[in-house]
Amino acid sequence: MKDIILKKFAEVFGDAEGARAYFAPGRVNLIGEHTDYNGGHVFPCALTIGTYGVARKRTDNKLRFFSMNFERLGVIESSLEELVPSQGAGWTNYPKGVMWAFGEKGMKIPCGMDLLLNGNIPNGSGLSSSASVEVLTGHILRDFFGFDVSNQDLALIGQYAENHFNKVNCGIMDQFAIAMGKADHAVFLDTADLSYEYAPIALKGAKIVIACSNKKRGLGDSKYNERRGECEMALAELQKVVDIDSLGDLDEETFEKNKSAIRDQVRVRRAKHAVYENQRTIRAVKALKANDVEQFGQLMNASHVSLRDDYEVTGVELDTLVEEAWKIDGVIGSRMTGAGFGGCTVSIVKDEAIDIFIEKVGRAYKEKIGYAADFYVVEIGDGPRNL
C-alpha cells in the first residue's frame, strides 16, 4: 500500500519528494454501545484496516487535499486562514478540524501541506472512518512539527474537533480506540475518567466478522444527538433523587429503584439501555478474562436486543443481519456496532462456520433488503504509525 499511495501522491502533486507515509486504523466496538457519552464502559479494538496517508510540508499556508476514495472530487484547496467548517469542504472538514483544534490548544500549524488519503474502511459503515482520519491527521501534525502530544492527547483532540468543528456530539470511544490500539487486544475503557486496560482477545477457533449493511448514514444527521439529549434529560431527572454524575454510575438495581423520577417513558427506556449496557460490558470483559467466550457472545446478543428495543437505533437492515446471524450454528454472538441507523454488525463466528455465515446471512439480507451486504473477516491491529 505504501508504494501505491506514494505513486499516486507523485501523480496528483507533481512528485513525492519529501513526502512521508502514515497509517491510522479503523475500529470496531465489541460491546458497550451508546455508553461512552453516558459515563460508562466501552470495549473497542483497532483494526488492521484503516486510513493510509501521504503528507508533505509546503513553504506557504496553502492546504491541498486529495482522497483516492473520492477521486472525482479532485484536489480540494484551502488554507490555514480558512480553518472553518463548510458543507462544500466535504471530507476535508475532518483534517481541517484537527488542524483547527491543534491551534485552539495553543499549537499553531506553522505551514501548509499537501495531503493524500486512501481508506480501506467502508465509507459510512460505522467503523469510524472519520475518527481514523482525525487521529491520522493528528499523528501527521505531531510527526511534522514535533508537538508534545501523547496518543491519548490525539484522541482527545480528535474528539474536540468532531464536537466543536464538525458539531457532532460524539463521545471519546472512537478516537480513543484508534489512537490507543494494540494488536490482539481490545481496550476496556471507563469513559468517565479515561482509565483503561488492555484485554487480550484470544478467540481460539473463531474470528471477528463484520457485516456492512451498505445503508449509508452520517452521525451528524442521524438521531445520535437526539438520543444523547434524551439521556441528558433522564440523568438530570435522576440526579434529583440519587447522587450520581452520569448514568454509568448506576447499577441495574439502583436504576430500577429510582427510574420513576424520569417523567417520560421514552427517556426511561433510553436511560435503561445506558445503565444495563454498561453493566453488560463490565460482565463481558470478566467473561473474556475467564475464557468464557460463550458468555461473552450471549451478552453481545443481549446488547443488540437492548439497542433495538430500548434505544431504538438499529433499523431493519441491522436487525436482519443480526437475526439471520443468530440462526446459524457456530455464531457465538452478534450485534450492531457503532451509532446505528445503518452501518455494521460485529459477530464472533467459529472458523468452520464463517463461509456458511457469509453465504446464508448474505442471501437472506439481499432477499429482504434488496441489495447486498459486504462481509469482512478482520484482525485486531495497532494504533497510528509511520509507514
User: Could you read off the pLDDT of 250-277 as tens digits, one per residue?
Assistant: 999 999 999 999 999 999 999 999 999 9
* pLDDT value, residue 352: 97
Q: Note whether residue 221 is domain-resident.
A: no
Band (pLDDT 50/70/90 cuts) for residue 125 is low
Q: Note whether residue 339 is domain-resident.
A: no
Burial level of 108, CB count in 10 A (0-12/13-18/19+)?
exposed
- Report how far Cα 136 is from the mean position of its chain's Cα atoms: 14
Average pLDDT of the residues in 9-26: 97
Q: Count CB-CB contacts under 10 A for residue 251.
A: 12
Give SS3 for 31: coil
Band (pLDDT 50/70/90 cuts) for residue 126 is low
* pLDDT value, residue 166: 93
* pLDDT value, residue 171: 83
Look at 54-58, 128-132, 141-145, 363-367 and tell me which has the smallest mean pLDDT: 128-132
Cα 175-286-205 angle, rounded to 5 deg: 85
Average pLDDT of the residues in 279-296: 95
Q: Note whether residue 237 is domain-resident.
A: no
* Distance of alpha carbon 189 from alpha carbon 92, whole angstroms: 29
pLDDT over threshold 70, residue 104 = yes
Q: Note whether residue 363 is domain-resident.
A: no
* pLDDT value, residue 372: 96
Q: Note whether residue 87 is domain-resident.
A: yes
Higher pLDDT, 288 or 127: 288
- Report how far Cα 42 is from the mean position of its chain's Cα atoms: 11
* Distance of alpha carbon 376 from alpha carbon 358, whole angstroms: 9
* pLDDT value, residue 243: 97
DSSP for 229-294, written as a single string = HHHHHHHHHHTTTS--SSGGG--HHHHHHHGGGSS-HHHHHHHHHHHHHHHHHHHHHHHHHTT-HH
Band (pLDDT 50/70/90 cuts) for residue 204 is confident
Number of domains in the chain: 1
* pLDDT value, residue 168: 84
CATH of the domain at 116: 3.30.230.10
Q: Which domain holds residue 54?
A: 2-191
User: Could you read off the pLDDT of 33-72 as tens digits, one per residue?
Assistant: 999 999 999 999 999 999 999 999 999 999 999 999 999 9
- Amino acid occupying residue 371: Y
* Distance of alpha carbon 167 from alpha carbon 139, whole angstroms: 22
pLDDT over threshold 80, residue 219 = no
Catalytic residues: 174
User: Could you read off the pLDDT of 166-200 as tens digits, one per residue?
Assistant: 988 888 999 999 999 999 999 999 999 999 999 98
User: pLDDT exceeding 70 applies to what percent of the chain?
Assistant: 97
Contact predicate 311/341, CB 8 Å: no
* pLDDT value, residue 60: 97
pLDDT over threshold 70, residue 217 = no
Single pTM value for the model: 0.90
- Report how far Cα 53 is from the mean position of its chain's Cα atoms: 19
* Distance of alpha carbon 217 from alpha carbon 36, whole angstroms: 20
User: Could you read off the pLDDT of 76-91 as tens digits, one per residue?
Assistant: 999 999 999 998 899 9
Band (pLDDT 50/70/90 cuts) for residue 224 is confident
DSSP for 329-385, written as a single string = TTEEEEEEESS-SSSEEEEEEEGGGHHHHHHHHHHHHHHHHSS--EEEEE-B----E
pLDDT over threshold 60, residue 221 = no
* Distance of alpha carbon 33 from alpha carbon 284, whole angstroms: 13
CA distances 185 to 41, 134, 201, 347, Å, are 16, 22, 5, 16
- Report how far Cα 157 is from the mean position of its chain's Cα atoms: 15
* pLDDT value, residue 218: 54
Q: Note whether residue 155 is domain-resident.
A: yes
Q: Note whether residue 214 is domain-resident.
A: no
pLDDT over threshold 50, residue 220 = no
Q: Note whether residue 17 is domain-resident.
A: yes
pLDDT over threshold 80, residue 210 = yes
- Residue 346: closest CA among 188, 146, 206: 206
373: left (phi over 0), alpha (psi -120 to 50) or beta: beta
Average pLDDT, the chain: 94
* Distance of alpha carbon 76 from alpha carbon 116, whole angstroms: 10
